[in-house]
Amino acid sequence: MINIKRVANIYSKEFFAVNVLDGVSKARSLLSEMDHGCFPVMDEGNLVGIITYKDLLRTHPNRIIADVIGEEPIIVPAEMPLWQAKELFDEKTRLDVFIVEDEGRLSGILTRNMLKIQLGSHIDLLTGLYRSDYIYYHGVRLLEKKQEICIIFFDINNFGFIDKTYGHTVGDIILVEVSRLLKENIPSKAFLCRFGGDEFAVLLPAHLDDGTGLAYRLANIIDNHSYVHDIIISVSAGVIGGRRHEERADDPWNTMEQLINIASLRSTEAKKINAKLSVAKIEDGIA
């Protein structure tokens, strides 16, 4: 099972809460003891807001916390996946911190910077693409919404031979070029990752026919591109999609693993028979 990190893995449990009637000067004095520079604000035991280091600096020290409170705080569960937290931060552009709740109680702080640092480890340093858990997360979200999905799995042909013949530096240049071509030519609603090595995956919230057409188009773009040393590059693709006739009883994470595996096997099949792509349709009993 793919391991998707959650807010519980990264948030800070070390925090101070301040009262609405506390002075701004008191809150400022506590900042030296904190790493994240923000406070939950309480009123008679209830969470009523949050203030940040920036808020305190903009306010006269003789004022009270009640004068500083801005937007209503966002509370997120500790079990929320990090990708979902990122979506929420992207939506709430004016907020830099969320309150974390665990088992019904205020448990800690998640800042935008904490999340940014953690998600940086999920980015492939060579290509700049997200790693495979990015595809798994978004696929599960789409399945939970009963959205039809299609997965395209690309594998660069003869990449091992190219790497050995021209060297790893040239191989890296080719991987970067293929990544760029894919990123520039997928639809805005699609999700792309470097799955591993010379393999890439695209998740498309669309019908199998749309995914097959996209796979052909992307494969042709990659095949017809001019690469370093005039090396001929081609890809094999495996595509799976379609709608089941019955409701899925399986865990959506398990379903995504099956779909990715089938798409990968189809790309291997296409490579063996020297075809551009191999397509699998989701049927009852498959995925």
Considering the domain boundaries, does residue 126 fall inside one? no
Q: Which of 120, 146, 177 is the C-terminal boundary of a domain?
A: 120
Number of domains in the chain: 2
Q: What pLDDT score was predicted for residue 243?
A: 62
* 283 confidence band (pLDDT: 50, 70, 90): low
Q: Which helix (H) or strand (E) holds 38?
A: strand 38-43
Check if the beta carbon of residue 178 is closer than 8 Å to that of residue 228: no
Residue 190 token pair: 């699609």
Instruction: Note whether residue 32 is domain-resident.
Output: yes
Is there a single domain that holds both residue 136 and residue 277? yes
Look up the domain containing 192 and give its range: 132-281
**The domain boundary residue, chosen from 75, 93, 120:** 120
Same domain, 142 and 248: yes
Contact 208, 143 (CB under 8 A): no
- Both tokens of 202, joined, read 């695209």
Claim to verify: residue 41 and residue 163 sit in the same structural domain: no
Numbers of helices and strands, H then E, in the chain: 9, 11
At residue 91 the predicted structure's pLDDT band, cuts being 50, 70 and 90, is very high
Q: How confident is the model at residue 284 (pLDDT cuts 50, 70, 90)?
A: very low
Residue 240: which CATH number?
A: 3.30.70.270
- Asked whether the predicted pLDDT for residue 34 surpasses 80, the reply is no
* Phi then psi dihedrals of residue 160, to 5 deg: -60, -40
- State residue 32's pLDDT score: 64
Burial 136-166 (b: 16+ CB within 10 A, else e): bbbbbbbbeeeebbbbbbbbbbebeebbeee
The terminus-to-terminus CA distance of the chain in angstroms comes to: 15
Tens of pLDDT, residues 130-151:
999 999 999 999 999 989 999 9
Q: For the segment 217-226, what is each residue's pLDDT rounded down to a tens digit?
A: 999 999 999 9
The region that residue 177 occupies, defined by phi over 0 for left and psi between -120 and 50 for alpha, beta otherwise, is alpha
pLDDT digits (tens, 9 = 90+) for 151-207: 999 999 999 999 999 999 999 999 999 999 999 999 999 999 999 999 999 999 999
Say what the pLDDT of residue 249 is.
55
pLDDT in tens, 230-261: 999 999 999 999 765 455 556 888 889 999 99
CA angle 109, 115, 116 (to 5 degrees): 140
26 lies in a domain?
A: yes
My answer on whether 189 and 232 are in the same domain is yes
**What is d(CA 261, CA 180) in angstroms, rounded to the nearest whole number?**
24
Give the relative orientation of helices 82-91 and 112-120 as an angle to the nearest 10 degrees.
130
**Percent of the residues in the chain that have a pLDDT greater than 70, as a whole number:** 93
